[in-house]
């Protein structure tokens, strides 16, 4: 529980490196990139699950224990529910016009209510089923086409990272704009140049929104120099993403004004026709970028890691195949209506989220008042970051925490769900800043894994070593080498001939 801070009985700050006067630990931070690995290394060396690093005037509080994390995230008083003002967040949100990056206030409350009630509600989810189904079918057709292009009609070398990224970006475009492509795409169902450039820009935005930037802690430096090139890179990526998105939004708004468009077909139409509250064009553009970015990252990272771990452990893969064959069979493709009965597939997705999160930390929270948590003093203005790695790989919570084991999430005959309000895994967060896209995110992620496992047999190329290389990148948590494996259709061929 949060305790009111009493100056006469002030507890200590959480443990951490001894800061230098004024600049704090910025020199150590710059010398030890990537910063997230340095932070986790210090937590291990100090044997602490809450760490305090002062950078300039800001205290960065890193947390890797689920009980402490819940004190911050299930914040009944709103003390820890705001967002810090950072350069990358400001630019990405066009001045905090979206939901995910906006500080607490009337705008954030308006946008969150709108997302829950109008955009990501259960009713809207059902309304968009046909569009999601088109993308489920398209990705199966695309993988089948890769088999024919590369090694013949029976099998092919497939880059799972490209498949997963294409699927997630296609899905975002279809739900938002009603179209899979910005341009013409490729005849085999793959992306065209426009889609590739757009997806690359989303990857860069995600990498830099999560990154530590010097000018966020020393704002006056921004007027002198872009010290680490951070601002130039993210500005270019945002410009590229919005180059493709914004003209579609402008065009659609004009179509509604002119009476050319009279029926709502996708989420852009919904945004344009909102009445209470009505959004201006800048809010629509900012929120659409927010949703597209959120749809893109978790899905693609999760599926590549899940497939890599499952191929590495044939018993797990065979168990997933057996479940699909029993529940769905081989005469039709798995559908969303089957998911309630696919507990092991969902457990594989959840285990990949646990062991291989898309980012080392959640988006930062900022404290709006002095407070006490876990016996430590948390000063006003602190940036609180919860370690997804620390929660998911916590040896006090998980037996054999570094081993991929979907049985961690199987609970007798109870249905497996991807939420975890205990924060033993960090999937969609919790509390006021919990992700409103939980239903959509969990559905499209699970469906991609189910379609890939059901539709194809997977094996390593003959020139590869016996096991999949499971090394992470140094600078992020992505797989160091993209997963390229042999895929072979395992269902009747007519099931792949979807348009």
Cα–Cα–Cα angle for 147, 149, 153, rounded to 5 degrees:
50
Q: What is the pLDDT of residue 429?
A: 73
pLDDT in tens, 81-117: 999 999 999 999 999 999 999 999 999 999 999 999 9
pLDDT in tens, 67-86: 999 999 887 678 999 999 99
pLDDT at residue 150 is higher than 80 = no
Residue 330, domain extent: 7-496
pLDDT at residue 1 is higher than 60 = no
Contact 417, 346 (CB under 8 A): yes
Q: What is the pLDDT of residue 436?
A: 85
Report the candidate in 450, 483, 489, 422 with the shortest Cα–Cα distance to residue 344.
450
pLDDT at residue 13 is higher than 50 = yes
Whether 472 is in a domain gets the answer yes
Q: Residue 147 has which token pair?
A: 């088999």
CA 276 from chain centre, in angstroms, equals 29
What is the average per-residue pLDDT within 49-75? 93
Q: What is the CATH number of the domain that holds 349?
A: 1.10.630.10
Q: Which helix (H) or strand (E) holds 50?
A: strand 50-55
Q: Residue 31 has which token pair?
A: 């010398």
Report d(CA 303, CA 313) in Å as an integer. Answer: 15
pLDDT at residue 152 is higher than 70 = no
Q: What is the pLDDT of residue 89?
A: 94
CA 144 from chain centre, in angstroms, equals 27
Report d(CA 26, CA 217) in Å as an integer. Answer: 9
Report d(CA 304, CA 162) in Å as an integer. Answer: 9
pLDDT in tens, 340-351: 999 999 999 999
pLDDT in tens, 185-216: 887 778 889 999 999 999 999 998 878 888 88
Report the candidate in 252, 164, 161, 239 with the shortest Cα–Cα distance to residue 202.
239
Percent of the chain having pLDDT more than 70?
96
The model's pTM is 0.93
Q: What is the pLDDT of residue 4?
A: 45
Report d(CA 427, CA 437) in Å as an integer. Answer: 11
Beta bridge partners of 472: 479
Number of independent structural domains in the chain: 1
Pairing of strands 58-63, 383-386: parallel
Whether 2 is in a domain gets the answer no
Give 463's pLDDT tier (boundaries 50, 70, 90): confident
Report the candidate in 112, 113, 78, 82 with the shortest Cα–Cα distance to residue 98.
112
Whether 1 is in a domain gets the answer no
Whether 156 is in a domain gets the answer yes
Whether 58 is in a domain gets the answer yes
Q: What is the pLDDT of residue 499?
A: 57
Mean pLDDT score across all residues of the chain = 91
What is the average per-residue pLDDT within 356-384? 94
Biggest CA–CA distance in the chain, Å, is 76
In three-state secondary structure terms, 215 is: helix
pLDDT at residue 7 is higher than 80 = no
What is the average per-residue pLDDT within 230-246? 95
Whether 155 is in a domain gets the answer yes
381 conformational bin, left if phi > 0, alpha if psi -120 to 50, beta if neither:
left
Whether 75 is in a domain gets the answer yes
Whether 160 is in a domain gets the answer yes
- Show the beta-strand stretches assigned E in 78-237: 156-159
pLDDT at residue 137 is higher than 90 = yes
Report d(CA 214, CA 26) in Å as an integer. Answer: 8
pLDDT in tens, 472-488: 999 999 999 999 999 99
Report d(CA 406, CA 315) in Å as an integer. Answer: 11
């Amino acid at each position: 529980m949060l305790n009111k801070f009493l100056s006469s009985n002030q507890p200590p700050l959480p443990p951490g490196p001894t800061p230098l006067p004024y600049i704090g630990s910025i020199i150590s931070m710059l010398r030890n990139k990537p910063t997230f690995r340095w932070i986790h290394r210090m937590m291990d060396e100090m044997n602490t699950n809450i760490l305090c690093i002062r950078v300039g005037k800001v205290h960065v509080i890193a947390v890797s224990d689920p009980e402490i994390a819940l004190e911050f995230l299930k914040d009944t008083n709103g003390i820890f529910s705001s967002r810090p003002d950072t350069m990358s967040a400001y630019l990405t949100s066009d001045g905090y016009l979206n939901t995910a990056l906006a500080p607490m206030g009337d705008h954030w409350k308006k946008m969150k209510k709108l997302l829950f009630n109008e955009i990501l509600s259960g009713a809207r989810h059902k309304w968009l089923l046909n569009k999601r189904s088109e993308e489920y079918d398209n990705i199966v057709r695309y993988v089948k086409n890769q088999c024919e292009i590369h090694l013949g009609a029976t099998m092919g070398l497939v880059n799972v990272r490209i498949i997963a990224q294409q699927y997630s970006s296609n899905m975002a475009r279809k739900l938002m704009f009603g179209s899979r492509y910005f341009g013409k795409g490729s005849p085999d169902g793959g992306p065209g140049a426009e889609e590739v450039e757009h997806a690359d820009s989303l990857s860069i935005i995600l990498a830099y929104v999560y990154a530590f930037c010097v000018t966020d802690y020393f704002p006056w430096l921004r007027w002198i120099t872009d010290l680490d090139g951070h601002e130039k890179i993210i500005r270019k990526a945002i410009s590229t993403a919005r180059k493709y998105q914004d003209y579609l939004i402008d065009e659609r708004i004009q179509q509604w004004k002119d009476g050319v468009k009279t029926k709502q077909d996708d989420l852009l139409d919904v945004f344009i026709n909102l009445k209470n509250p009505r959004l201006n064009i800048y809010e629509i553009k900012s929120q659409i970028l927010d949703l597209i970015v959120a749809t893109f990252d978790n899905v693609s990272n999760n599926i590549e890691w899940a497939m890599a771990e499952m191929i590495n452990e044939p018993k797990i893969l065979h168990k997933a195949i057996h479940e699909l064959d029993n529940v769905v069979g081989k005469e039709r493709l798995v559908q969303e209506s089957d998911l309630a009965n696919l507990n092991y597939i969902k457990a594989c997705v959840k285990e990949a989220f646990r062991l291989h999160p898309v980012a080392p930390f959640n988006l930062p929270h900022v404290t709006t008042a002095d407070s006490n948590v876990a016996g430590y003093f948390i000063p006003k203005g602190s940036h609180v970051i919860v370690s997804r790695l620390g929660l998911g790989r916590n040896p006090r919570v998980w037996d054999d925490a570094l081993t991929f084991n979907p049985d961690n999430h199987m609970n007798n005959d109870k249905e497996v769900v991807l939420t975890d309000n205990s924060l033993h895994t960090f999937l969609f967060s919790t509390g006021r800043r919990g992700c409103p896209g939980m239903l959509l995110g969990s559905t499209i992620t699970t469906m991609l894994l189910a379609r890939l496992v059901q539709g194809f047999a997977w094996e390593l190329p003959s020139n590869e070593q016996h096991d999949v290389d499971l090394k992470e990148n140094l600078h992020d948590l992505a797989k160091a080498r993209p997963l390229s494996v042999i895929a072979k259709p395992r269902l009747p061929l007519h099931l792949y001939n979807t348009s």
